[in-house]
Structure 1
Amino acid sequence: MKKNISPTLIYFFGAFGGFMFGYDIGIINGALPGIGTTWHITSWIEGFITSGLFVGAMIGASLMASLADRFGRRKMIMWSAIVFAIGALGSAFSTSVSLLIIARIILGAAVGGASALVPMYMGEISPAETRGKISGLNQLMITVGMLFAYGINYAFVHVFEGWRWMLGGAMVPAMVLLFGTFILPESPRFLVRIGKKELALQVLRTLRSPEEAENEYNEIVNSKHSDSGSFKDLFSKQALPAVIAGCLLTLLQQIQGANTIFYYSSQILAKVFGSAIGGVVSTVGIGVVFVLATIITLLVVDKFKRRTLFMTGSIGMGASLLLVGLIYPAAKSNHAWATWAVFFFICLYVIFYAYSWAATTWIVVGELFPSNVRGLATGIASTVNWFGNILVALFFPVLLDTVGLSVIFFGFAAICVIGFLFAKYILYETKGKSLEEIETYLYNRSIGKDVD
C-alpha cells in the first residue's frame, strides 16, 4: 500500500470507470448518423450497432465481477481499462459494419465490467454515513462522460467520417483509468477475506480517521459472513431475496425510458427541431442538465431514504414521459410552443431520473448483497441491467418507425408505475447502514427474526 495517497484521489480514480461507461453511452448518440452515411445502414443494423456494446457488457459484467471475488477489485478494474482501449481502437478503424459490431462487443465487455466493479469497489471503500455521496461519484462520472461525449459529437459532426474520431476518442479515458489503477488500493473487505488483514487496516487508515479505521476494521474482521461464496450460495435464504431485488432494480433502471433519450435524443430532437444540428445541440443541453442534477444529487443523497428517492423519481419520470407523449404530435406539426415543451419535459424527466434511478441505483447495488457473494451478485445484477439496455437499444429504432414516439413514451410511463411499486413494496432500505449491518439484516430476515 503506497502511503500519503489522498483519499480524494482514490475516490476519483475509483469512480473513473463511470466516465468510460458514460462516454460510450453518449458517443454513439452522435456517431450513428455518420456511420449511416458511411455504410447506409437500416434501422435494424443501427439497433445492432448500438446493442452490440450491451451484448459485450452482459459478458463483461458477469465475468469480471465474479473474477473480482477471486483476484480482487483493483486488478479487474485495470483489465477493464485495457479491454476498453482495445475496443475503442477497433471501433475507430473498423472497415465494415461486421467489424464495427465485433469491436463494440469487445468495448462492451469493458464497459460492463466497469459498471459492476466500480459500484462494488466504491461501496466497499466508503464510510456508511457518506456512502451515498461517495458511491454516487460513479454516476457523476457517467454523466460527465456523457456530456464530454456530446461535446465530442458536436466537434466532429461535420468532419468526414468524424464518427471514427468520436469512437476512437474512448482511448483517452481508458488510459487515464489504467494510470489510476496503479495508485488505487485494494478493497479492505477483499483483503480481509484473503487473509491480508494488516494491509486492510493500512488501507482503512488512509481513508478514515484512526479511530474510525480501527472500529471498521474490527467490524469487518468480526463479521461471520466474510468467507468467499459459490454460485450455489446465491440461492441461500439470506442471499436470494437480495439478488432478486438487485436484478429487478437494475432492470427497471433501463426500461423506464432513460436510455431512449441518452442513445437516440439526437434523432428524436432532430425531428422536433427540424434539423440534425438542432438535435445535436439540444442533446448537449440535456447533458448539461444531467450533470448539474447529478451534482446536486450527490450533495443531498445521504439526507433522504433510498426508497423515497426511487418512488418520487418514478412519479416525476412517468408524468414527464406522459406529457411528452401527449405533446409530441403538436411538435411534429411545427408548433413552436410544443417543440420547446417537449424539450422542457425531457429535461424535467432527466432531473427526476438523475437523483433517483440514475445515481441511487448504483449506490444501492454496491450495498445490497452479502459479502460472500457480492461479486457474483453484482455481476448478475449488472448483466440484467445490460439485458435491459439491449432491449431498449435494439428495438427502439424499429418501434420508432412502426408505432411512433408517443406510444413508446406512454409505455415507458406505465413502466414507471411499476418502478414506484417495486420501490415501495419490495426494496429494503440501506441508507446509513454499514455493509456489515445490512448483511446482519439479511441474515436475521433469513432465519425469521423480526427486522425493522
Structure 2
Amino acid sequence: MDRPLLSEYPGPDDGQPEAPLPPGRCAMLYLLTAMSAIGGFLFGYDTGVVSGAMVLVRAEFHLSDTWHELIVSATVGTAWLLSMAAGPLADRLGRRPVILAASAAFGAGALLAALAGSQQTLLAGRLVLGVGIGLASSTVPVLIAEAAPAEARGFLTTVNIAFTTGGQLAAALLCGALADVTDGWRWMMGVAALPAAVQLPGLLALPESPRFLVARGRRSEAAAALTRLRPAGFPVRTELARVAAQCAREQRGRRAYGPTAMLRRPAVRRALLLGCGLQVIQQLAGINTVMYYSASIIQMSGVRNPTTAIWLAALPAAVNFAGTLVGMALVERVGRRPLTLTSLLGTAGALALLAAGFWVNAAQSLPVTVPVEFPQCRQYNCASCQSAGCGFCFAETLSGPANGSCLPLIVGNASAPPAECRAAHQVWAADWCPAPHSWLPVLGLCLYLVAFAPGMGPMPWTINAEIYPAWARGSGSGLAASCNWLANLAVSLTFLSLVGALGRAGTFVLYAAVAAAGWLLLLRWLPETRGVPLENMAVLFGGDGDDPPLDEDDCEPPPEEDAALLGADSSPEGSPRLSVDGRLTPDLQPR
C-alpha cells in the first residue's frame, strides 16, 4: 500500500514515549550560534545595501534598467550556483570550513565593490559577494540546527534569520546616513568587510557540528564538541548515542548517498520537494523584490527626493527585523506550521493592498496638459506616459504640480531631463509620478513585512535545516537554497521588466496570486516539526520503514577513550540503550 505523503509524529499518547533530554543550552552554544549567524548578518547586509546604494550608483554610472538589474541580480545568480555546491562541500569538508570560506568571500567582495571604478568592476565585486551569500545561506542554518538541542532548535535557527534581517536594517540605516556623503555608496558596500574580519577568527575557536563528526566516524571529536556545547551535568552520552544510532541506521545496507539517493528514497524525496517548495514560494511572493528595490518602489510611489527614498527604505527594513523577533518568540510556542500559514495568508493580502495603492496613484496621476510632437509620448497622464517608455516633466507651483508634459527619455541616461524640461526649469520624473497618496504603497510595504517577517521569512530556512536525515542534510539544504536563489534570480531579473509590461499594480497583483496559490499548497502538505528530534524527522514523511531495522548493537556506548571527555555520564552502567524501533527505552530517564 502506498505510504501517505505526511505522517503524524508519534507522541506520548501513542504509548511510545521518548525519554526527553533536559534543556541543553549554554554560553558556548549561544556563542557558536552568534558567530555562525554573522554569516546571516552579512547575507542580509549585502542583499539590503543594494537597495539604497543603487539609487546613487545608478546616477553616478548612468545605468540603464538592464545594468541596474544585472548588478542587483549578479549576486543572486552566483549565490544560486554556490548554494548547489555548498551542500556537498558541507557534507564532505564540514559545516564550519564552508562558513569560513563564505566569510572570506564576503570580505573580498565588499572591498572590491567599494573600490570599483566602473560598473564592470562593481559587477565583479557583487559576483564575489554572491559566493559568500550562497555558501552561508545554506550552511549556517544547518550548523546551528545540528548543534542545538531539540527544545531550542527552532529558536536558535531563527536567530540566524534575525541576524539576516538585522543586517538588512543596518544596511538601510547606513545607506540613509551616507546618502549625502561624497562616495557614500562606496562606504555602504565596503563596511561589510568588518563583520567578516570578526567572524573568521571567532569561528576558528569554536567546535564543528557534532552530528557531522559522528557521521564522519570522528566520535571522540563529536564527544568533545557536545561537551563544550552542553551545560555541566548534561547527559552527553545519551545524546551522542542517539545520534550514533541514527548514523548506524543510515550507513548499514545503504546505497551511495547524494542527490540521486535523495530522489530514490521516498521519504527524503518528499522532504526535498517540501523544502524546495517552501523556498520557491518565499521568493515568488516577492520578498527580495521588496528588499532589493524598496527605495526604488518608494520613489515609484511618488517620493521624489533620492535621500528621502533611501531613508524611507529603512522603515520596511525595521519592520522586517521587528517581525523576525516576533517569529523567534513564537516559533517554539505556536509551531512552524501555524506561523508559516498565517504569515503567507497575510502576505498575499498585503501584496493586494500594495497593488491597490499603486492603482489609486495611477488613477489620480497628474494629467498631461502640454502637447508634444512625439507620437509615442502622446499620453493622457504621468502613469500612462511612463508605461509608454517616456518620462514626465512638470512644474512645481504654489497649488501643487501642474503643466505636465510627456517627453522621450535620453538614451543611456534616463534620469537626465531632456532639453525641453531643462529650459522650462521644471521637474523631471523618469520612473516616478507626483501622487497625492504616495503613502499608500509605503503602508503596503510595511504591512507586507509585518505579515511576512515572523513566518515566511525564517520558517523555510528553519524547516529545511530540520527535515532531512543526517547524510542528506547538507545536500538537501543546499538544493533547497539553490531553488530559493534561482527563484530569487528570476524575480529580481524580471521585476523592472514586469513593471514595464504589467504596470506597478499588475506586478504586485501577480505576486499576490502566487502567494495565495502557495498558501493552498502548504495548507495541504506542510507538517509540524516542533519538538521532533532530528533523528526521528523521517517519520513525518512516512519514512520510518525506509531505513534498515535498528538493533541494540547500533546503540553501543561510546569508546572507553571518550570517557574522560564525557565525564560522569560516560560510565558503562549509565550508557543509553535504544529499542529496535530507534527510541530510547522508557527506563532511560536523564539524570
Quote the Cα distance in structure 1 between the aligned partners of 2:461 and 2:91: 19
Which one has the largest radius of gyration? 2
Residue ranges of structure 2 left out of the alignment (5+ in a row): 1-25, 366-433, 548-591
Amino acid at match of 1:350: L
Instruction: Determine the structure 2 residue equivalent to 1:431.
Output: 530
Distance 2:49 2:536 in 1: 40
Does 2:109 match 1:79? no
Q: As a proportion of its length, which structure holds more helix?
A: 1
Instruction: Give me the whole-angstrom Cα distance separating, in 1, the residues matched to 2:268 and 2:327.
Output: 29
Offset, 1:296: 1.9
1:129-183 deviation line (CA, Å, top 9, x unaligned): 1211110001100011001111121122122332222111211121122122112
Contact 2:52–2:313 (CA<8 Å) still a contact in 1?
no
Amino acid paired to 1:125: A
Q: In the aligned structure 1, how far is the partner of 2:235 from the partner of 2:42? A: 32
| AA matched with 2:267 | Q
Aligned with residue 282 of structure 1, among 288, 293, 312: 312
Output the CA distance in 1 between the equivalents of 2:517 and 2:195: 36
Work out whether 1:295 is the aligned partner of 2:295: no
Matched, 1:444 2:444: no
Residue 428 of structure 1 aligns to a residue whose secondary structure is coil
Query: Is residue 220 of structure 1 aligned with residue 220 of structure 2?
Result: no
Structural mapping, 1:3-402, within 5 Å = 6-209=28-231, 210-223=233-246, 224-227=248-251, 229-236=257-264, 237-272=266-301, 273-331=303-361, 333=365, 336=436, 338-402=437-501
Q: Which amino acid aligns with 1:302?
A: E
| Matches of 1:276 and 1:328, distance apart in 2 | 19
- In the alignment, is the contact (CA less than 8 A) between 1:44 and 1:398 conserved in 2? no
Aligned to 1:406: 505
Identify the range of structure 1 (226-235 vs 423-432) with the bigger mean alpha-carbon deviation: 226-235
Distance 1:231 1:393 in 2: 27
Range 228-237 or range 156-165, more displaced: 228-237
Cα distance per residue 1:211-246 (max 9 Å; x no partner): 443322111011144548223212122321111111
Q: Letter of the 1:122 partner, please give it.
A: I
Q: Can you give the 5+ residue segments of structure 1 that lack an aligned partner in the other structure?
A: 448-452
Q: Secondary structure at the match of 2:438?
A: helix
Question: How many positions carry a matched residue from both structures?
Answer: 444
Describe the shift of the 1:238–1:169 C-alpha distance in structure 2 as closer, same or farther (beyond 3 A). same
User: In the aligned structure 2, how far is the partner of 1:441 from the partner of 1:350?
Assistant: 30
Point out the more displaced range, 202-211 or 190-199.
202-211
How far did residue 56 of structure 1 move? 0.9
- Which residue identity does 2:243 align to in structure 1? I
> What letter corresponds to residue 90 of structure 2 in structure 1?
A
Per-residue deviation, 1:330: 2.9
CA–CA distance in 2 between the matches of 1:59 and 1:225? 32
Equivalent-residue separation in structure 2 for 1:116 and 1:28 (angstroms): 21
User: Structure 1 residues 46, 445: closer, same or farther in 2, change over 3 A?
Assistant: farther
Q: 1:401 to 1:445 in 2, by over 3 A?
A: farther
Inter-partner Cα distance in structure 2 for 1:191 and 1:157 = 47
Shift of 1:92: 1.6
Answer whether contact 2:55 2:295 (CA < 8 A) is retained: no
Q: Answer yes or no: is the 8 Å Cα contact 1:309–1:355 preserved in 2.
A: yes
My pick for the range that moved more, 187-196 or 229-238, is 229-238
Shift of 1:382: 0.7
Does the Cα contact within 8 Å between 1:225 and 1:372 map onto a contact in 2? no
Amino acid at match of 2:279: T
Q: 2:63 is paired with a residue of what secondary structure?
A: coil
Following the alignment from structure 1 to structure 2, what is the Cα–Cα distance between the partners of residues 276 and 257? Answer: 23
Structure-2 separation of matches of 1:77 and 1:185: 13
Letter in 1 for 2:280: L
User: 2: distance between equivalents of 1:176 and 1:251?
Assistant: 32
- Over residues 368-398 of structure 1, what are the superposed CA-to-partner deviations in whole Å (9 max), with x where a residue is unaligned? 2121111111111111111111111111122
CA contact (8 A) 2:37 2:159 kept: yes
Match of 2:372 in 1: none
Q: Which amino acid aligns with 1:358?
A: G
Deviation string, structure 1 residues 243-297 (Cα, Å, up to 9, x no partner): 1111111111111011111111101112323322221121111111111111122
Query: How far does residue 126 in structure 1 lie from its aligned partner after superposition?
Result: 1.2
Q: Secondary structure at the match of 1:302?
A: coil
**Once the two structures are aligned, what percentage of the paired residues are identical?**
30
Q: In the alignment, is the contact (CA less than 8 A) between 2:215 and 2:470 conserved in 1? A: no
- Whether contact under 8 Å (2:42, 2:192) holds in the other structure is yes
Of 214-223 and 132-141, deviating more is 214-223
Indicate the SS of the match to 1:403.
helix
Distance 1:439 1:82 in 2: 35
Of residues 167-176 and 434-443 in structure 1, the stretch that sits farther from structure 2 once superposed is 434-443
Report the residue type matching 1:214 in the other structure. Answer: R
Q: How much is the aligned-residue C-alpha RMSD, in angstroms?
A: 2.0
Is the 1:270–1:280 contact (alpha carbons within 8 Å) kept by the matching residues of 2? no
Amino acid at match of 2:261: D
Q: Which amino acid aligns with 1:79?
A: A
SS at match of 1:165: helix
User: What is the CA-CA distance between 1:59 and the residue it aligns to?
Assistant: 1.9
Q: Distance in 2 between matches of 1:413 and 1:279?
A: 24
**How much has 1:440 moved relative to structure 2?**
4.4
Residue of structure 2 in register with 1:450 after alignment: none
The offset of 1:95, in angstroms, is: 2.6
TM-score (norm 1): 0.93
What is the SS of the residue equivalent to 1:356? coil
